[in-house]
Amino acid sequence: MPILILEDMPDGALIALDPGTKTIGVAACGASRGVPMAVETIKRTKFRDDAARLFELFDERQAAGMIIGLPVNMDGSEGPRAQSAKAMARNLCQIRDIPIAFQDERLSTFEAEEKLIAAGVRRDKRKDIIDAHAAANILQSALDRLGMLGE
């Protein structure tokens, strides 16, 4: 299956990824596409192992598709991190034929950290969960975008 545009994502539950160099944040929402929830932060190892865990989470949540955060630069250009996210999507599609779309992830980690600080989460705890919360922000942005299309 080719990479989709967000608007072509099938109905149903979604998982979202915040891919980093050391970790992958994972968030999910149910079939009704309500509030996204941070699921976990995967410490990156070998790609096959990371992919196996991602597909496990995908299946557990009976997801219809996957949203991957695209780390574009503030001016909208794509740098090496964006190319890495796109390569990840291509590699996941080679392992398993699932719908994948991208969502701009600018400021998602910053916003996640602000929310965690406001909630009183200590710095040492924040570093373990921030990427999953950034993935929840990415998923919320995608859901907001999809909601605007229906209006």
Percent of the chain whose pLDDT exceeds 90: 59
* pLDDT digits 0-9 by tens, 78-100: 888 889 999 999 999 999 999 99
- Per-residue model confidence (pLDDT) at position 149: 56
The SS3 of residue 147 is helix
CA–CA distance, 58 with 13 (Å, rounded to integer)? 9
Cβ distance 85 to 16 under 8 Å?
no
CATH H-level, domain 6-146: superfamily? YqgF/RNase H-like domain (3.30.420.140)
CA–CA distance, 66 with 6 (Å, rounded to integer)? 10
Look over the chain and give the mean of its residue pLDDT values, rounded to a whole number.
88
- Per-residue model confidence (pLDDT) at position 106: 67
* pLDDT digits 0-9 by tens, 25-45: 999 999 999 899 999 999 999
CA–CA distance, 9 with 21 (Å, rounded to integer)? 26
Q: Which of 8-12, 54-58, 97-101, 104-108 has the lowest mean pLDDT?
A: 104-108
Domain boundaries, the chain: 6-146
